Amino acid sequence: MRIFGIDPGSKNTGYGCIDTEDSRFRFVVCGAVTVSPRLPFSERLTGIYDGLTSLLAKYQPACVAIENVFYARNVSSALKLGHARGVAMLAAAKAGLTVTEYAPTEVKRAVVGYGRADKTQVREMVMLLLGLDTAPSPDDASDALAIAVCHANSASGPPETRGVSSGPRSWRQYRPRDRRP
């Protein structure tokens, strides 16, 4: 199954595409859709949309995974990031793809095993999991690959793994079995 990960940004929107088969991952492509910060914001959004639309048409993924907005230094930054996410989600929806969102801590936990991992740890694990000799560049591309790996490892990930559970994912999900005969 081909998964396309997106790390949205108003200047650089990272993307990463992987193929999955069972528990193995294969790198397809990564990079960033970059728009000039000097352009009016509406033109930057158009550039992000056009770039992602072209990439989705070229690589034909089965689904898209995108990072949720979690924090911004100020309200204006959060709004701009939200607009970029909306444009990315629109590009995926127009391509007929399902979009799944993941919190940054969820991505880090799925890739590194620790929800507060730093960017270096995430990048190193992405390299290891995908068998890459060099680090994905820019950092937005590495993050997008991590989002795709997270989706591949999640319950909402590839159809061949949906419904297959190795038990509760956290103590909050634990339900004791009724042991009555």
pLDDT in tens, the chain (181 residues): 999 999 999 899 999 999 998 889 999 999 999 999 999 999 999 999 999 999 999 999 999 999 987 666 788 888 899 999 999 999 999 999 999 999 999 999 999 998 889 999 999 999 999 999 999 999 999 999 999 999 999 866 555 434 333 344 444 444 444 444 4
Q: Among this protein's residues, is 7 annotated catalytic?
A: yes
Q: Among this protein's residues, is 143 annotated catalytic?
A: no
Residue 154's CB: how many other CB atoms inside 10 A?
Answer: 18
Q: Does the model's pTM come out above 0.75?
A: yes
- Residue among 124, 140, 160, 178 flagged as catalytic: 140
Q: Which residues contact 67 (CB under 8 A, 6 or more apart)?
A: 6, 7, 8, 85, 101, 102, 103, 104, 107, 143, 147
Residues in the chain: 181
- Residue among 21, 43, 50, 67 flagged as catalytic: 67
Domains belonging to the chain, first-starting first, are: 2-173 (3.30.420.10)
| DSSP character string of 2-60 | EEEEEE--SSEEEEEEEEEETTEEEEEEEEEEE--TTS-HHHHHHHHHHHHHHHHHHH-
